[in-house]
Amino acid sequence: MSRTQGVISGAESFFYNGSDTGILIVHGFIGTPQSVKFIGQSFAKLGYTVYAPRLAGHGTNIYDLEKCTYEDWLNSVVEAYKRLKKQCGKVYCIGQSMGGTLTLLLAERFKELAGIILINTALSIPAYNYLKNGTNLNYIDEGLPDIKDPSVHEITYSRVPINAVREIQKLMKLAPGSIKNIECPALCFKSIEDHVVPHENTDRIFRELPTGNKWLRVLNESYHVATMDYEKDRIIEDSHEFIQWQQSYLNDDEIGGCEVG
């Protein structure tokens, strides 16, 4: 993979100017904005202003990631939100995997967030559980990205620093406490066949979100990185519907939960 000033080619942040409604898209652990580029471009074509930042330590090398804390990742999201909010009257945040975890913390902090869209949000990653008891390793090998479509290539790291695993474990331990404090509307996607994050994570989030304005969508033909998988178009369609519904009917007295398979 080629690099430009330390960033892997294709892994750069991207920004598309559009309407007064902004969409912030947050990628997952060891991923890059490339994993959400298709949905970002699609939202831009629908007229939204779109920003997908590259999280600290991602898209460069594992040694950069090794130096980062989960606070650094959260700061990447907060700064991106502030940039987008300066330009847009309303901002929605979409988070894939760890990006969804960070979105929970963002929504807890910024009550004016117009809505959140969570895609296979990580509250637990069972494959990392054995590392909680300590290890002498500094790095571990990472498997291929969990994508059902064999034609898709995701830019990720093939090895992961143990320090980074520790940080995402801290983040996942912290995030559940934020759910009860989130006031904005929410759309939750879960892949039934997810080999990284159990779909029960999304069930818990949906159950514990206090808002009555929450929607759940089930993905039957996508694995964990659903933003790059067979149902990526459905994610765009359902998210667009969710946002437009909020824009049109947010003050309607009949707002309620919606679960659709």
Query: How confident is the model over 126-181, as pLDDT tens digits?
Result: 999 999 887 889 999 999 999 999 999 999 999 999 999 999 999 999 999 999 99
What does the buried/exposed string (b/e) look like for 171-184 if buried means 16 or more CB atoms within 10 Å of the residue's CB? Answer: bbeebbebbeebeb
Query: Does 255 have pLDDT greater than 90?
Result: no
**Domain range holding 161?**
3-260
What pLDDT sits at residue 152? Answer: 97
Band of the pLDDT at 254, cuts 50, 70, 90? very low
SS3 string, 190-225, reads EECCCCCCCCHHHHHHHHHCCCCCEEEEEECCCCCC
Supply the residues annotated as catalytic.
97, 194, 224
Which residue would you say has higher pLDDT here, 252 or 78?
Answer: 78
What pLDDT sits at residue 248? Answer: 85
Asked which of 1-10, 74-83, 133-142, 219-228 is least confident by mean pLDDT, the reply is: 1-10
Domain count, the chain: 1
Query: Does 260 have pLDDT greater than 90?
Result: no
Alpha carbon distance 180, 148 (integer Å): 33
Which CATH number belongs to the domain containing residue 187 in this structure?
3.40.50.1820
Mean pLDDT score of the chain? 93
What pLDDT sits at residue 2? Answer: 44
Helix count (H) and strand count (E) of the chain? 8, 12
Sign of CA dihedral 133, 137, 138, 143: negative
Strands of the chain, DSSP E: 3-4, 7-8, 14-16, 21-26, 49-52, 90-96, 115-119, 139-141, 159-161, 186-191, 214-219, 258-260
Structure letter (DSSP) for residue 197: S
Is residue 43 a known part of a binding site? no
Give the residue from 108, 51, 61, 102 showing the smallest Cα distance to 81: 51
Asked which of 206-210, 220-224, 250-254 is least confident by mean pLDDT, the reply is: 250-254
At residue 215, the 3 state secondary structure works out as: strand
Alpha carbon distance 7, 255 (integer Å): 44
What pLDDT sits at residue 166? Answer: 96
Mean pLDDT of 22-47: 98
Share of the chain above pLDDT 90, in %: 90
Sign of CA dihedral 28, 169, 223, 199: negative
Predicted model pTM: 0.93
Band of the pLDDT at 3, cuts 50, 70, 90? very low
Band of the pLDDT at 257, cuts 50, 70, 90? very low
* Cβ 234 vs Cβ 260: under 8 Å: no
What pLDDT sits at residue 165? Answer: 97
Band of the pLDDT at 249, cuts 50, 70, 90? confident
Alpha carbon distance 97, 118 (integer Å): 8
Is residue 172 a known part of a binding site? no
| 3-state helix vs strand vs coil in the chain, percent to 5 | 40, 20, 40
Share of the chain above pLDDT 70, in %: 93
